[in-house]
Amino acid sequence: MGKYIIRRLLQTIPVLLGVSILVFSLMHLIPGDAAQIMAGEGASETTVENIREKLGLNDPKPVQYYNYVSGAIQGDLGNSIRSGRPVLEEIKGRFWVTAELAIYATILAVFLGLIAGIISAVRHSTWADVSIMIVALFGLSMPNFWLGLVLIQWFAIGADWLPEFMKMRPSGWGDSWRQILLPVICLGTSGAAIIARMTRASMLEVIGQDYIRTARAKGLSERIVTYRHALKNALIPVITVVGLEFGAFLGGAVITETIFAINGMGRLTIDAIRERDFPIVQGTILIISLLFVLVNMLVDISYRMLNKRIDLN
């Protein structure tokens, strides 16, 4: 296990290098001049040139990339062009907001997805199975921006049909459960639909195995057969989906944070792209990529916990 973890950590190095090269290249292909944006529209050419020289924007692109990578290795992601503050300080406050949103959305998606998938598999080809899969199809089809606006209209702005204490707040984060619930539902709905469909498919495959029939032949109750024998083995592909969904929630929270006015990393990245704040964009994407890789590593390790026969080495 230790050798596997070390090997996976070493494998993150080329992945992060590739991500940094891609983001660096794309940011410098975007039209616009960061120095001109900082100086303002009425600034003289001399002022703009001084800012460009101070930020190192006159250096060749390979030199700029080398300076960025050498600083990142030492834990220095540079300073924000917009505010002048270190990138890590800019990200720190926003990161935990996005992390909380992704964690809550994942918990909701796993809770609803597992329950729906198990019921659908156990009651295969019944009205319950068909109804759950139809709802899951709607969950997959609804874009976040549309669902977020609908939730705000129904449960916040036009919620006259709800008691006062149950009316949701359409913006902000963390002050109360009424601010948290709507963005979590908006972000977690598609994940719940994917997990439900994967759980159903995996459970149906496992239920048809010989050892399940043997367990039933021994006289074990259907509950024990379903949850102790079938579900444990069916969870391996489901955990893969959960890990991917958590990474998608981290990176895909941009729309949800924008709709609900949440000051997370998603809004920070969008603002930085708009203002050509290259260090902020590179820093946020690099951190999200690192988290995505680490989550996938934890998912792989969990396989061994569910099935001792899986050899990670």
Question: pLDDT 10s digit of each residue in the chain, 313 long?
Answer: 667 677 777 777 888 888 888 877 877 776 666 677 666 666 777 777 787 777 777 778 888 888 878 888 887 787 787 777 888 888 887 888 888 899 999 999 999 999 999 889 888 888 988 999 999 888 888 888 888 888 888 888 877 767 766 777 777 777 778 788 889 998 898 889 999 999 998 888 888 777 777 777 877 777 777 777 777 778 888 888 888 888 888 877 788 888 888 888 888 888 888 777 778 888 888 888 888 888 877 877 776 666 655 555 5
Q: How far apart, in whole angstroms, are the C-alpha atoms of residue 68 and residue 304?
A: 38
Q: Is 17 exposed, middle or buried (0-12, 13-18, 19+ CB in 10 A)?
A: exposed
Three-class SS of residue 86?
strand
DSSP alpha helix (H) spans, the chain: 2-29, 34-39, 45-55, 61-73, 87-122, 127-141, 144-152, 177-207, 210-217, 222-224, 231-259, 265-274, 278-306
Residue type, 296: N
Can you give the residue ranges of every domain in the chain? Answer: 2-73, 96-306
| Bridge partners, residue 86, by sequence | 79
Identify the residue whose tokens are 């290795």: 73
Q: What is the pLDDT of residue 176?
A: 77
* CATH level 3 topology of 96-306: MetI-like fold (1.10.3720)
Q: What is the pLDDT of residue 302?
A: 74
CA proximity to 174, closest of 184, 162, 186: 184
On whether the CB atoms of residues 136 and 193 are closer than 8 A, the answer is yes
Q: What is the pLDDT of residue 105?
A: 92
Residue type, 84: G
Q: Which two tokens stand for residue 278?
A: 């290259």
